Amino acid sequence: MTRKFSVGFLLFLSVIFVAASAFAHHGFQAEFDGSRLIYVKGTLTKFEWENPHMFLYLESTDANGKVTQWQFEGASPTVVKRTGTYREDLIANVGKIITVRACPAKDGTNRGAAETIKVADGRELVVGGKRYYGSGKEGEQ
Amino acid sequence: MKRRLGVCLTAAAVLMMICLAPVSAKPQAGQVSVPGFGKPNAKPLPNGGPTPHTPDGHPDLSGVWFPGNTGGYDLTAEDDPAQKQFDPKETPEEKPPFQPWAAAKLKGMSRVDLELLRPSVNCLPRGVPGMFITNPYPIQFVQAGTQLIQLNELNNNFRVVPIDGRPHPKNPDPAFNGDAVGHWEGDTLVIDVIAIDVSTWNNFTGWFHSDQEHVVERLSRPSKNYLIYQVTIEDPKVLTKPWVSAPRHWSLGHEPLEEYYCTNNKEEEALKALKQLSEGSDK
């Protein structure tokens, strides 16, 4: 194994963590993979506070300077509000680094169904319903 | 050089073990793994006292009603029994008794094709009984004498049901909410619905219906905080026999309905792209 590969691998892991599991069941999973969980850290560039789903847009930059644009789908703003996350919370974090917890899109595009976002002041805010239905079996791919 | 490479390899192996391990606490099926999120905080409402009545002596169904028992909706408690309309262990609900051709039709569809037929993909109204069975958003009843006005937050939808015992008109036009007429049987409001647009579904998983579907809804308010909804569905073209739902609980909320216009729907576009991808990969 070369040094370049090891360093590259470590840098990749510093951006995205993946937990894999064999079990998955949910209606939304035509589009998203509820057996996988990703955390994506980046700058919140904009959001859409509309129905039927709110959307978050993130820009992540890896150590090599490569920029990736992400789109995350959340729940309806009406239920997001009822769960305690408000439009003002998102306004306050545009331009700041957040970490999104989501299930990734099945088509390999940089999209996900978001459950929560960890924002600049350390709070974890709910932006979607439970999406990850992993079995919890450690190491299962 | 060799020592540095060894350190890098060890670090990579450790990081790989951390990354492939479940995050934080070990997730269990149906539970979100992040501590604090997914912790059910949904509590069923108490019955709240006796049923209110209108001046004519009937139960007053007026109020803002949320599906389930908590009088609200919390995304972190979606799987909490308190937020469910019924407990299948206590009041089991039979699966739809499809005729063989209908069952075969559903079985033969791909998941993406099925999703593309879902009314919500195009933000269509849920219809009847979808506005109760497949609706996670609150409704509001305004019971005004001989009319029951139902406002649905989802898609800013409404229906006005005459509840004076009149019959259906002859040959009503199909409508998403159907043609609905109601009458009282004791303390239960019975709403008879026909002519329901065939693009509506009766559940979340593709229960389609014919133009001959006949739906009978039963609404009661056993106490101040609870509304019970039970529905019977007959469909001689799709079902082998009538289907009766469990008694489904709705609970009294204390907040207004929100505006909900479907102005930013991206679902159909995303599903069609997925379908093209899967069709392309089959070639």
Give φ, ψ of B60 to 5 degrees.
Answer: -95, 115
CA distance B28 to B16: 22
**Listed range (A101-105, A123-127, B35-39) with the worst mean pLDDT:** B35-39
Convert the pLDDT of each residue in B138-185 to its tens digit: 999 999 999 999 999 999 999 999 999 999 999 999 999 999 999 999
Q: What is the ipTM of this complex?
A: 0.79
- Which residues of chain B have a CB within 8 Å of the CB of A130? 30, 32, 38, 75-76, 78-79
Q: Of B181, B160, B187, which Cα lies nearest the Cα of B57?
A: B187
Greatest mean pLDDT among A21-25, A27-31, B34-38, B78-82 = B78-82
Pairs from B106-110 (Cβ < 8 Å, separation ≥ 24): B106/B206, B106/B208, B109/B206, B110/B275, B110/B278
**B79 contact residues in A (CB cutoff 8 A):** 130
Taking CA–CA distances from B258, the nearest residue in chain A reads A78
What percentage of residues in chain B have a pLDDT greater than 90? 69
Its pTM stands at: 0.82
Per-residue pLDDT tens over the stretch A2-48: 554 444 444 444 444 434 333 333 347 678 999 899 999 999 999 99
Res A70: pLDDT = 98
Alpha carbon B240 to its chain centroid, in Å, reads: 24
Mean pLDDT for the stretch of residues A91-99? 97
- Percentage with pLDDT > 70 across chain B: 83
Residue B7's pLDDT is 52
Residue B229 has pLDDT above 70, yes or no: yes
Give pLDDT tens digits for B194-217.
999 999 999 988 999 999 999 999
Q: Which of B37, B75, B115 sits opposite A75 (nearest CB)?
A: B75
Confidence of residue A136 (pLDDT cuts 50, 70, 90): very low
Can you give B209-278 as a three-state secondary structure string? CCCCCEEEEEEEEEECCEEEEEEEEECCCCECCCEECCCEEEEEECCCCCCCCECCCCHHHHHHHHHHHH
Interface with B, mutate which of A2, A6, A33 (most B CBs under 10 A): A6
So where are chain A's domains? 3-126
Q: SS3 of B192, please? A: strand
Distance from CA of A62 to the nearest CA of B (A): 17
- Residues of A with Cβ-Cβ distance to B72 under 8 angstroms: 82
- Can you tell me the distance from the alpha carbon of B124 to that of A7, in angstroms, rounded to the nearest whole number? 51
pLDDT at residue number B56: 94
Cβ-defined contact of A31 to B271 (cutoff 8 Å): yes
Contact of B83 with B69, CB cutoff 8 Å: yes
**Is the domain defined by A3-126 classed in CATH 2.60.40?**
no
